[in-house]
Amino acid sequence: MTTYTTVGKPIPRVEGTHKVTGNSTYAADVQLPGMLHCKLLRSPYAHAKIVSIDTTKAAAHAGVERIVTADDLPEFEARYMSNRAYNLLAGEEVVFHGQPVAAVLATDATAAEEALELIDAVYEELPAVFDPLDAMRDDAPPARAPVGEIDRSESKGHVTVEVEEEQSDKPSNVVSQTKFSRGDVEAGFAESDVVVERTWRSAMMHQGYIEPHATVASYDPISEELTIWTATQGQFFVRDQISRMLRIPETKIRVIGTELGGGFGGKIFLTQSLAAVLTRITSRPVKLVFSRSDDLVGANPAGQCVVDLKTGMKNDGTVTALQTKVIYNSGAYPGAPVVIGAILIGGYYKFPNLEIEACEVLTNKVSVGAIRAPGAHNVTLAIESQMDMMARELERDPLDVRMQNAVEAGDEMPSKAVYSSIGLKECLKAVQDSEIWRDRNERPATPGKRRGVGIAVGGWLGGLQPAGAHVELNGDGTLNVIVGSNDITGTNTSFAQIVAEELAVPLDMVNVVTGDTKTAPFAGMSAGSKTLFTVGRAVKAAAEDVRSQLLGVAAERLQAKVEELEWKDGVISVGGDAEKSIKFRQLAGITTGFGAQYPPVIGRGAISARQQAPGFTAQVAEVEVDEETGEVTLLRWGIAQDAGFAINPLSVAGQMQGGATQGMGIALWEEMLHDEGGRLINDGLLDYRMPTALDVPNIETYIVEVPSEDGPYGARGVGEPSIIPGAAAVGNAIEDAIGVRVAEAPFTPERILRAMGKI
Amino acid sequence: MTTAETTTETPREASALEKVTVRYTINGEQREVEIAPNRTLLEVVRDELRLTGAKEGCGTGDCGACSMIVDGKLITSCLMLAPQADGSEITTIEGVAQDGKLHPLQQQFIDHGAVQCGFCIPGMILAGKALLDSNPAPSELEIREAIAGNLCRCTGYTKIVEAIAAAAD
Amino acid sequence: MRVRIRVRYNAPHMRRFDYFAPTSVEEAVSLLQERGDGARLLAGGTDLLVQMKEAGVHPSAVVSLHAVDELRGISDESDGGLRIGARTLMNDVAAHETVRGAYTALAEGAGVLGSTQTRNMATIGGNIANAAPSADTAPPLAVFDAEAEIAGPGGTRTLPVIELFSGPGSTTLETAEVITAFRLPAVPDHTGSAYQRHTPRKTMDIATVGVSVKLTLADDGSIGDAAICLGAVAPTVIRAGEAERALAGETPSDELFASAGELAQAAASPISDVRGSAEFRRYLIGVMTRRCLGIALERAQA
């Protein structure tokens, strides 16, 4: 096994101390002279025709500089209008409650908010539909005017799949569907000893980043340059989209991805285009910062999902057949993760027969965006619950049946793509060895409560996107690394480790900086668990380039052949001869000093990633259930995840714990609730409940390393898998505790009591 | 929550606004600022005093990102009117490091990998500081209780709890 | 149907108002009198500021009590009771030795409210004056038969806390009246009390159901006196009178407490909202009243 000096070590973040001293700049911290504050008037209806908007009174309000409605906006080609991003302000029709219809620009935020109340908007209500099953009925009202071709440029950043959705021909709220089949499901069920059939529901939930959406945009009419400071996971994506929408050359757009207060798939492209348009209209800087309520009502949460699932198993634990219909509610614009859901639900186990149908349905709810592993937790709740139910029915160990049927390298996914090396079985093994699982039948429950342990697995295929990186040798022998990927949780530290490793220098000689879109080499979105997987490879290639350039200079200087050179501790020598050696620092001098003979050392790394490295996880949850109140307490949690190779185990563990906790939120608390008019009724963080420190236990992490074929040092994406199986694991643990199955997440006390027949 | 209504009440004109002068000792420094009384302490500290370390995550006291220590007590500054803190001693995240050196809590947060996106961290560190100032050797449960008003979406809290415990040692 | 509609949208910024920071109760009362119904009294701010930001409450004047020192603090009364100033912080109530010892339910109510931050800002007077049916200190104050001291333009008066509430968010206080303190009568020997609430999360939440109980045992171990007050299950906090009467004079037992729970359920008129359905709330009252009685009994016997 290769031994490394820097990669593979738990390294605290190197990019300095600014995040613990309050000195990081997030988008809402940006203040510019003459800046206008933007507040949005949002639709009170889920579906209505806009009859008129009278802004006269509001425009006259003290402090208000300008009010903008759809009439003032540039016109876009009809084919783009299926994309939420192009619908900056509603023109003729509002299609979800909270959709922006007017933007007020004022010298301070209070004045802007006061003016919102003075806008006179007249609507004519239209029939609305909210539940996806209702929306699929033949007599359902259309959620909105028919969409054209579906623009999926954003969702491809999260996962790369080679399957295209079919679009419906006839006008329908069902905008796309995907089907996969294998073998003969009827025959499969016929030979089964147990068949379980259930409907599983999971709620619309929010990514829950603590920093609401924020953008500051500034347009200089003289240079025609547009500068955007924004909270985004993908600054190049923002630049490209704005260039395309507003027909501005990319050379005139500078997107500065500020420090990002969490994204989880929800912060890609939402406020930037409107802010850009508004600064162009006013020629003054515009600040658009969402309130928490704005963000819950009008951002792009993760959609609700209904899964009908039928599965079969033989007495010996072998799975036989899987038949399913997966329905994603995508809200008022298309964009639900249909294909990935369809792949994953049949992609964990070797079902010889399967029939999968998945579709996305438009309704008059806010349109959905990505989330950590979009679509995955919904389908995993279904399949991982039923694996447990079948095992229980056959009195088999739930972990053994998973191990017995788990997919391996070479197995086909439902889409017929073939898995490369994967570590699902290794993750299961790690959970099997955990104390939580081993003593699952031994720990006594608190008096009056029942204790249970559950497991579940999850997997994510990962996104692919090309990426570039520069590594430059500074005059003092230190190194600057420039990337274009937005560092949310520590990827820049891992890049520093890679460069330190490749060039055999101490970590503190490497400085990584995320440039903006005018200065940095291209990178894809920090999404889809691919930043380290793709940009990391580019960084490694750039470091290798630096290495070969330095060797070239050293060879010439030492009058030796490159092959004769030894590279050790920052010294390059001919066969280890101290007399014939040159220090790294000297090399830096002769490539940057006055009259230097050699050109500066600038390493270039540019890669295109073609092969995904799916990441799997297995998790174990120990819960206690109060049978009288339905309350569930999470006692212990263990997560095993295949990181391929953990370049920085400290940050890998952090990713695992964070995602697992979001999974716990999905399991027990998180649900966006709407009234009969489609209005969100929990639009604050009191009633949209994310877990607090008291709601979750310490999380044990078991890092599994099954090297990927393509990732740097064998690494694979680690961001996403951790969120996936939480709800299923908790549901399985609840059944283990009280013998009752709840088929709708979150598993609230009320739902548990109803399932128990107590209310 | 959003409510639709049909009143025609007109907001008061900006000119009707009377400003008040408030004095704070913030991070050991005397500051005086003239403000409209409808501003929260958070807004004044961020927008007027330009200390932007404290964050607004919800505006309703439910996330803790705006936490500050005012006269020795941890509070959510989004729910305190700026004039209510007149004459107070205020510590924000910018005042936690002293004499060019990180506070042990700050160092432990870095060393334990307790910082991911960082948005909750200023409030989280102040919550940890308020705890350790009054209870130098807290149990895990006491740490979790002390930070329960500070939401973090990235870490799942495990490493934050470890960092605070380590700073207490 | 065409509808003209104006949306009041949740805003993080408050509308403008005149601000006053009196230094005495007298001054506060006269300011409230001057400014009339448009004026709002500000104690800790954890309820009022949220309402001003998101519930469309736009006072023309805010009278802050933070500089009125006489409203702060907890003191022993000559009759063995306790007096708690209205501007005493929740954390100070929860940590006070006498409150924890003799008025345990109140310490529990004050101690579970919100977060550390909330309890460092919120005051007991504010919690009561805000008159939320879910207020965590209201049921405990009610089971101890606490009285509110009220100052107003016409002088001072006292009123049992339970009589302060007239509906969700509304009180029987007259214009320009200020709650200055709560007086809790002395607690007899062999008394135990408890406050229990159900919340979806362990903390940082508002009670779906709150139950407070106080039990005083007679020398023979039977129940001499019982008080039960329910929160979040009716327009105001309510005493479960029938359940209380059914307990008096009886020997404590699981069956007795279960039947008291059933009587308490009958007293409630819960609604369905974002925190739970009426059915769920009614169900919980039974379980929680029974449990709360059990805890109070253990404490009374200790």
CATH class of B104-168: mainly alpha
| Amino acid B3: pLDDT | 37
Q: How far apart are CA A397 and CA A409, in angstroms?
A: 24
Nearest to A293 among C1, C10, C14 (CB): C10
What type of residue sits at position A265?
G
Q: Which residue has the tokens 């909330």?
A: C118
Q: Which residue has the tokens 């997560």?
A: A639
CA-based nearest distance A559→chain B, Å:
45
Q: What is the mean pLDDT of residues A412-433?
A: 97
- C202–A684 C-beta distance less than 8 A: no
The residue in chain B having the minimum alpha-carbon distance to the alpha carbon of residue C15 is: B38
pLDDT in tens, A523-568: 998 888 889 999 999 999 999 999 999 999 999 999 999 999 998 8
CA-based nearest distance C204→chain B, Å:
6
Q: How far apart are CA A727 and CA A385, in angstroms?
A: 9
| Amino acid A157: pLDDT | 63
What one-character-per-residue DSSP string does A163-213 give? Answer: -PPEEPSSS-SEEEEEEEEES-HHHHHHT-SEEEEEEEEE--B----SSPP
- Phi then psi dihedrals of residue A338, to 5 deg: -65, -50
Q: What is the mean pLDDT of residues A210-230?
A: 98
CA-based nearest distance A635→chain B, Å:
13
R_g over Cα of chain B: 18
Q: How far apart are CA A519 and CA A508, in angstroms?
A: 23
Catalytic residue IDs of A: 720
- A110–C10 C-beta distance less than 8 A: no
CA-based nearest distance C283→chain A, Å:
7
Q: How far apart are CA A576 and CA C73, in angstroms?
A: 78
Q: CB pairs below 8 Å between A and B: how many?
A: 191
A106 in Cβ contact with A55 (< 8 Å): no
- A122–C200 C-beta distance less than 8 A: no
Q: How far apart are CA A378 and CA A336, in angstroms?
A: 12
In chain C the domains, ranked by start, together with CATH numbers, are 18-64 (3.30.43.10), 69-184 (3.30.465.10), 191-301 (3.30.390.50)
Q: What is the mean pLDDT of residues B144-157?
A: 98
Enumerate neighbours of A (3 or more CB pairs within 8 A). B, C
Average pLDDT, chain A: 94
Please give the CATH number for the structural domain made up of A18-23+464-607.
3.30.365.10
Among residues A26, A668, A27, A682, the alpha carbon closest in space to that of A296 is found at: A682
- Mutation target to probe the A interface, by most A beta carbons within 10 A, among C14, C50, C54, C201 is C201
Q: How far apart are CA A6 and CA A504, in angstroms?
A: 9
Poorest-confidence range of A172-181, A182-191, A275-284, B72-81? A172-181
Q: Which residue has the tokens 């609840």?
A: A734
- A110–C6 C-beta distance less than 8 A: no
pLDDT at B16 over 70: no
pLDDT at A440 over 80: yes
pLDDT at B5 over 90: no
Q: How far apart are CA C72 and CA C66, in angstroms?
A: 9
pLDDT in tens, A364-394: 999 999 999 999 999 999 999 999 999 999 9
Contacts of B38 in chain C (CB under 8 A): 13-17, 19
- Cα torsion angle, A243, A248, A254, A260, sign: negative
The residue in chain B having the minimum alpha-carbon distance to the alpha carbon of residue A664 is: B156
Same fold, B17-95 and B104-168: no
Of A447 and C7, which is predicted with more confidence? A447
The residue in chain C having the minimum alpha-carbon distance to the alpha carbon of residue A683 is: C10
For residue A461, what are the CA distances in angstroms to A7, A374, A376, A419, C21?
24, 11, 10, 9, 60
pLDDT at A304 over 50: yes
Q: What is the DSSP letter of C7?
A: E
Output b/e per residue, A37-58; b: 16+ Cβ within 10 A. bbbbbbbbbbbbebeebebeeb
Contacts of B20 in chain C (CB under 8 A): 19
Q: Which residue has the tokens 């109340």?
A: A117
- A685–B58 C-beta distance less than 8 A: yes
Q: Which residue has the tokens 């329908």?
A: A172
CB atoms within 10 A of CB C55: 15
Nearest to B155 among A17, A62, A654 (CB): A654
Sheet holding B20-26, edge to edge: B29-35, B20-26, B89-91, B67-70, B73-76
Q: What is the mean pLDDT of residues C266-286?
A: 96
The residue in chain A having the minimum alpha-carbon distance to the alpha carbon of residue C13 is: A110
Q: Write down the architecture of domain A305-463+611-755 according to CATH.
A: 2-Layer Sandwich (3.30)
- Phi then psi dihedrals of residue C71, to 5 deg: -85, -5
Locate the DSSP E strands across A569-614. 571-574, 577-583, 602-607
Q: What is the mean pLDDT of residues B36-60?
A: 97
Confidence class of residue A148 from pLDDT cuts 50, 70 and 90? low
Q: How far apart are CA A404 and CA A394, in angstroms?
A: 14
The burial of C145, by beta-carbon neighbours within 10 Å (0-12 exposed, 13-18 middle, 19 or more buried), is given as middle
Q: What is the DSSP letter of A531?
A: I
| Amino acid A696: pLDDT | 98
| Amino acid A166: pLDDT | 66
- Mutation target to probe the A interface, by most A beta carbons within 10 A, among C1, C8, C10, C52 is C10
The burial of C242, by beta-carbon neighbours within 10 Å (0-12 exposed, 13-18 middle, 19 or more buried), is given as middle
Q: How far apart are CA A293 and CA A333, in angstroms?
A: 20
Q: At what angle do helices B104-111 and B121-134 cross, to 10 degrees?
A: 130
Element (H, E) at A220: strand A214-220
Q: How far apart are CA C151 and CA A455, in angstroms?
A: 60
Residue A298 CA neighbour count, 13 Å, CB half: 33
| Amino acid A151: pLDDT | 66
- C10–A683 C-beta distance less than 8 A: yes
Cα dihedral A198, A204, A206, A207, rounded to 10, equals: 40
- Cα torsion angle, A327, A331, A335, A337, sign: negative
What one-character-per-residue DSSP string does C251-297 give? Answer: PP-HHHHHHHHHHHHHH-----BTTB-HHHHHHHHHHHHHHHHHHHH
CATH class of B17-95: alpha beta
Output b/e per residue, A456-488; b: 16+ Cβ within 10 A. bbbbbbbbbbebbbbbbbeeebbbebbbbbbbb
Poorest-confidence range of A131-140, A164-173, A296-305, C108-117? A164-173
What type of residue sits at position A712?
P
- Mutation target to probe the B interface, by most B beta carbons within 10 A, among A30, A108, A210 is A210
- Mutation target to probe the A interface, by most A beta carbons within 10 A, among C5, C196, C209 is C5
- A694–B55 C-beta distance less than 8 A: no
CA-based nearest distance A293→chain C, Å:
6
| Amino acid A171: pLDDT | 65
- Mutation target to probe the C interface, by most C beta carbons within 10 A, among A41, A629, A672, A675 is A629
Structural domain boundaries of chain A? 18-23+464-607, 305-463+611-755
For residue A113, what are the CA distances in angstroms to A39, A99, A104, B3?
6, 16, 8, 15
What type of residue sits at position B159?
K
Contacts of B1 in chain A (CB under 8 A): 293, 679-681, 683-684
The residue in chain C having the minimum alpha-carbon distance to the alpha carbon of residue A686 is: C205
Confidence class of residue B142 from pLDDT cuts 50, 70 and 90? very high
pLDDT at A294 over 90: yes
A310 in Cβ contact with A324 (< 8 Å): yes
Nearest to B60 among C7, C50, C64 (CB): C50
The residue in chain C having the minimum alpha-carbon distance to the alpha carbon of residue B60 is: C50
pLDDT at B9 over 60: no
- B62–A684 C-beta distance less than 8 A: yes
Contacts of C202 in chain B (CB under 8 A): 148
Q: How far apart are CA C41 and CA C33, in angstroms?
A: 11
Among residues C127, C256, C140, C148, the alpha carbon closest in space to that of C187 is found at: C140
Q: How far apart are CA A475 and CA A750, in angstroms?
A: 66
CA-based nearest distance B65→chain C, Å:
11
CA-based nearest distance B24→chain C, Å:
15
- B61–C118 C-beta distance less than 8 A: yes
Enumerate neighbours of B (3 or more CB pairs within 8 A). A, C
pLDDT in tens, A157-201: 666 666 666 665 556 899 889 999 999 999 999 999 999 999 999
Confidence class of residue C6 from pLDDT cuts 50, 70 and 90? very low
Nearest to A657 among B50, B109, B155 (CB): B155
Contacts of C286 in chain A (CB under 8 A): none
Highest mean pLDDT among A476-480, B15-19, C187-191: C187-191
- C16–B11 C-beta distance less than 8 A: yes
Among residues C107, C238, C124, the alpha carbon closest in space to that of C181 is found at: C124
Output b/e per residue, A308-326; b: 16+ Cβ within 10 A. ebbbbbeeebbbbbbbbbb
CA-based nearest distance C115→chain A, Å:
10
Contacts of B100 in chain A (CB under 8 A): none
Structural domain boundaries of chain B? 17-95, 104-168
Q: How far apart are CA C122 and CA C18, in angstroms?
A: 22
For residue C173, what are the CA distances in angstroms to C52, C69, C148, C151, C157?
20, 22, 11, 10, 11
Nearest to A759 among C201, C202, C283 (CB): C283
- C284–A629 C-beta distance less than 8 A: yes
Please enumerate in sequence order all residues whose Cβ is within 8 A of that of A327, keeping only pairs 6 or more positions apart, or say none: A132, A133, A136, A305, A306, A307, A358, A359, A360, A361
The residue in chain C having the minimum alpha-carbon distance to the alpha carbon of residue A120 is: C6
- A753–C2 C-beta distance less than 8 A: no
- B80–C121 C-beta distance less than 8 A: yes
SS3 A307: strand
Same fold, A18-23+464-607 and A305-463+611-755: yes
pLDDT in tens, C42-83: 999 999 999 999 888 999 999 999 999 999 999 999 999 999
| Amino acid A594: pLDDT | 87
